[in-house]
A = this chain, B = another copy of it.
Amino acid sequence: VLRKVNQRGDVRTDARENRERLLGAARRLLRQRGTEASLREVAREARVGIGTLYRHFPTREALVEAALSAEFDALAGEGRQLEAAGEPGQVLLEWLREFAALTGAYEGLPSSVLTALGDPASPLHHSCLALRRRAAALLTRAQRSGELRADLTVADLLSLTAGLAWAANRTPGGTPVDHLLALAFEGLSA
A interface residues (Cβ-Cβ under 8 A, vs B): 89, 143, 146-150, 152-153, 155-157, 159-160, 162-168, 170-171, 174-175, 179-180, 183-190
Contact between chains at A163 and B159 (CB < 8 Å): no
Task: Please report the C-alpha to C-alpha distance between residue A143 and residue B188 in the assembled complex, in whole angstroms.
Answer: 10
Of the residues B153, B179, B190, contact of A150 by C-beta under 8 Å: B190
Contact between chains at B174 and A167 (CB < 8 Å): no
Q: Give the residue name and chain of the B residue nearest to A158 (CB).
A: B167
Tell me which residues across on chain B come within 8 A of A148, comparing CB atoms.
Answer: 188-190
Task: Please report the C-alpha to C-alpha distance between residue A2 and residue B100 in the assembled complex, in whole angstroms.
Answer: 68
Contact between chains at B167 and A180 (CB < 8 Å): no
Of the residues B149, B163, B164, B174, contact of A190 by C-beta under 8 Å: B149
Number of copies: 2
Contact between chains at B160 and A184 (CB < 8 Å): yes
Contact between chains at A167 and B175 (CB < 8 Å): no
Shortest distance in angstroms between A179's beta carbon and chain B's nearest beta carbon? 7
Shortest distance in angstroms between A56's beta carbon and chain B's nearest beta carbon? 31
Of the residues B149, B153, B183, contact of A156 by C-beta under 8 Å: B183
Contact between chains at B168 and A166 (CB < 8 Å): no
Of the residues B89, B146, B163, B187, contact of A164 by C-beta under 8 Å: B163
Tell me which residues across on chain B come within 8 A of A143, comparing CB atoms.
Answer: 190
Task: Please report the C-alpha to C-alpha distance between residue A146 and residue B146 in the assembled complex, in whole angstroms.
Answer: 26
Tell me which residues across on chain B come within 8 A of A190, comparing CB atoms.
Answer: 143, 146-150
Tell me which residues across on chain B come within 8 A of A163, comparing CB atoms.
Answer: 163-168, 170, 180
Task: Please report the C-alpha to C-alpha distance between residue A183 and residue B89 in the assembled complex, in whole angstroms.
Answer: 16
